[in-house]
Amino acid sequence: MKTGLGRRVRVRAATALTLTAALSVPLLLSGCEDHSPVAAPTSTLPAKDSSTASPAADPQPTIPAYKTDLDLSSEETEAVEGALVAFEGFLVSINGAYSGHYEKVEDFSKFSSGEALASISDEAESIKNQQATFEGEINPLSVEIFKISDSPDRRPSSNVTVHFCVDTSHWSLTQAGAKPTPNPDGLVMMEHEILFEDGSWTVDKQSLWERKC
């Protein structure tokens, strides 16, 4: 398997994606079969000033450098980097919003669209209105570029599919009045579809790929 470091070497990303509910909460992956849709890069976002950044106010776990079995062209590598920047922004904004920094919700539409945007918006609203509580963080253990697809008008690399492994025991999203329960699955593989449209990359869909990784 090739390691895709691209022009930028590592990726940081907070992964609270709608993965948050993953298997421990019905909001996300719970009850999903493999490949079932659920709501909720390797480039990095611009580095933040460590003297002003606060882990509590701006959670940003590290995402591993991506790997791939694909033989990427230079154009595809550039597409992957752009897609992963959106992916990272998506995860950072979710971790922040779900942890109580609701101003991060304003970033949702910058990094997500379609089913993913609708899902994370609903979940953030539930948390804000105290209809659900979120604890912990979602941190990818591995990231793989699984597929790159062309668009109908034959523009290259308009759809990048990312697989990443996460440990579902490291967070919980619980409905108000319910008792938190441990996620039974542990390690799972998630799939995210990242689209290039109108000049920008956004996470459009996310699904549970496999209940192991």
User: 154-194: per-residue pLDDT in tens?
Assistant: 555 489 999 999 888 887 788 888 877 666 668 999 999 99
Amino acid at 69: D
The CA distance from 190 to 208, in Å, is 5
> What is the model's pLDDT at position 128?
95
**Residues whose CB is less than 8 angstroms from the CB of residue 32 and which lie 6 or more positions away in sequence, other chains included:** 23, 38, 207, 208
The distance of Cα 185 from the centroid of its chain, to the nearest Å, equals 18
User: Could you give the CA distance from residue 37 to residue 85 in angstroms, rounded to a whole number?
Assistant: 22
Q: What is the pLDDT of residues 193-211, one digit of tens each?
A: 999 998 999 999 999 999 8
What's the rounded Cα separation, in Å, for the pair 89 and 77?
19
Full 3-state SS string of 74-142 = HHHHHHHHHHHHHHHHHHHHHHHHHCCCHHHHHHHHHHECHHHHHHHHHHHHHHHCCCEEEEECCCEEE
Q: In sequence order, which residues have a C-beta less than 8 Å from that of residue 99 and are 6 or more positions away?
A: 16, 59, 134, 137
pLDDT of residue 137: 82
CA 4 remoteness from chain centre: 18
CA distance 51 to 42: 25
What pLDDT is recorded for position 71?
95
Share of the chain above pLDDT 90, in %: 46
Domain ranges, ordered by start, for the chain:
2-210
Which segments in the chain show pLDDT lower than 50? Answer: 5-18, 20-61, 157
Residue type, 207: S
Output the pLDDT for position 152: 52
